[in-house]
A and B are shown apart, each in its own frame.
Chain A
């Protein structure tokens, strides 16, 4: 089963941020970059799924040239190759545009003979938090879509990579997906191809090995140029919340304060009867 994982290069913030000179973005100097944790889990799921079915994992990003670092980070943990859709200023794109760009690339790759049975995204990106790119992409591709998914199991009798590059009806097998619902874990069964948006927590993303990292350096990256955005980003500016001061309640000093803490623990309700 061939899996495409869509990831996004985001500033890796820890807490407090400051705004950049334009007021429309955060000051990224001194910040590292990463992919969102939902996407890290999506990559992990993709690697496990591909390994279980003898398939491949391709990672795709729409972003600046530097976003190749995130593609290589995914290759370092086990993805096979990458697609960089270069957009010098990704912030001018709205979620509709990103979905459109990815959809166009997926179709173009199909024409080039590279098809994907499963397209994974994160639920949302940790920076913009739009929660709609995966869904809009699915509509654009005409695929069913699930969100809030934490694990995927390939159903028995999977006909992996049974693809029809012509774009007609094709069955790439089916999967069972488990996700977060209001009453517990919801289980879905789905025929492929499909888009699935992943929520972190179901799998532990692996760290890269040294050999993985060495492989990543040499991985093939297909490059596209992103077209001008059609819809655009509705952002006017960014604002910062007011800083909260420490609100610690000192329960006391030394062992004498123990009862006060036990009161707190009782109130939270974590003491075993």
Chain B
């Protein structure tokens, strides 16, 4: 059987990645050599279902229902005053305590999921595989080298601890089950609280240039023509409340400061959208924008790397196109 650590958000809703992890667990057979035993390690009664959720902290009715729709038959609900603030060892121990000695324990590959599974693996004396994307008769398949390659592997031992790579599968609802919720009387060791979160700050800070934190970055290369050729790009930056990023050539020519350089030798950025204006896509530059969620290219050359790698492109002169985009934004604002 498979236990899935489920994260819920502030509203008590199951997170997308946890829903993915649950779906992954339900749709992949338990591939332990003997199919896994039902003997519990801790205090729980032997559960009967095949996919079981583990929730730490408040458990809302909607989460129970949602997990039921995702095919979870049992929810292990772990609640304790000492678990209110996150401390990885304490949380991991609580999970280990209700995890059978044989089976699979998994979580989504989030920072929490990764950290908890690693602690749990050590504490349960198990091996762990991170960023798993598939699981079949041959064993596990996981992402390595940043996702450019996959590793086929087989873990030994009776308990396998996994994290599931983000987007390895799509959450999928099934015939709804009404999950049984098990509550536990927990004890938390004092020693496991040394690494407790003291407080949480909601992001507000901004880096100096805004480049690495901006949601929208407008990129400009030598194609702007001169030191004075950035006006359209800067207007667009203004309309987007974003930042300007430039290629190495531009800073090399002294047209813009180095702080604005994006690429191998400048900043690596991961905005929601990167709009490359007149940048052909030198490999040095591409290395800096790999993290952009959406890539837009404005370029005269349809064959350029930037256009080929982009999600959206406009073929044309950057000054004309960007100017028209600015006008259109102003027009729509009315």
Interface residues of A (CB under 8 A from B): 11, 13-17, 19, 26, 94-96, 123-124, 126-132, 135-136, 139, 144-148, 179-191, 199, 201, 231, 234-241, 246-262, 264-265, 268-273
B163 CB contacts on chain A under 8 angstroms: 131
A248 to B312, CA, bound (A): 5
Tell me whether A184 and B201 are in contact (CB under 8 A): yes
Tell me whether B308 and A144 are in contact (CB under 8 A): no
Tell me whether B127 and A261 are in contact (CB under 8 A): no
Tell me whether B315 and A249 are in contact (CB under 8 A): no
Q: For window 197-221 of chain B, which residues contact chain A by CB distance below 8 Å? A: 197-203, 212, 215-216
Tell me whether A251 and B130 are in contact (CB under 8 A): no
Q: For window 245-298 of chain B, which residues contact chain A by CB distance below 8 Å? A: 272-273, 283, 287, 294, 296-298
Q: Smallest CB–CB gap between A185 and chain B, Å?
A: 5
Q: Smallest CB–CB gap between B322 and chain A, Å?
A: 8
Q: Which chain A residue shows the least CB distance to B326?
A: A258
A187 CB contacts on chain B under 8 angstroms: 197-201
Return the contact of A136 from the options B9, B122, B317 (Cβ within 8 A). Answer: B122
B315 CB contacts on chain A under 8 angstroms: 250, 252-254, 257
Tell me whether B145 and A13 are in contact (CB under 8 A): yes
B142 CB contacts on chain A under 8 angstroms: 129
Instruction: Pick out which of these stretches binds chain A: B22-30, B43-51, B150-158, B174-182.
Output: B150-158
Tell me whether A14 and B320 are in contact (CB under 8 A): no
**Is B66 on the interface with A (CB-CB < 8 A)?**
no
Task: Given A182-B110, A235-B151, A271-B329, check contact A190 B194 (CB 8 Å).
Answer: yes
B10 CB contacts on chain A under 8 angstroms: 183
Q: For window 116-159 of chain B, which residues contact chain A by CB distance below 8 Å? A: 118-119, 121-122, 127-131, 138-139, 141-156
Tell me whether A129 and B143 are in contact (CB under 8 A): yes
Tell me whether B202 and A264 are in contact (CB under 8 A): no
**Is B7 on the interface with A (CB-CB < 8 A)?**
yes
Q: Which chain B residue shows the least CB distance to A185?
A: B201
Tell me whether B332 and A132 are in contact (CB under 8 A): no
Tell me whether B294 and A238 are in contact (CB under 8 A): no
A186 CB contacts on chain B under 8 angstroms: 86, 197, 199-200
Tell me whether A237 and B296 are in contact (CB under 8 A): no
Return the contact of B325 from the options A96, A128, A261 (Cβ within 8 A). Answer: A261
Q: Which 3 A-B pairs have the closest CB atoms?
A: A255-B324, A258-B324, A270-B216
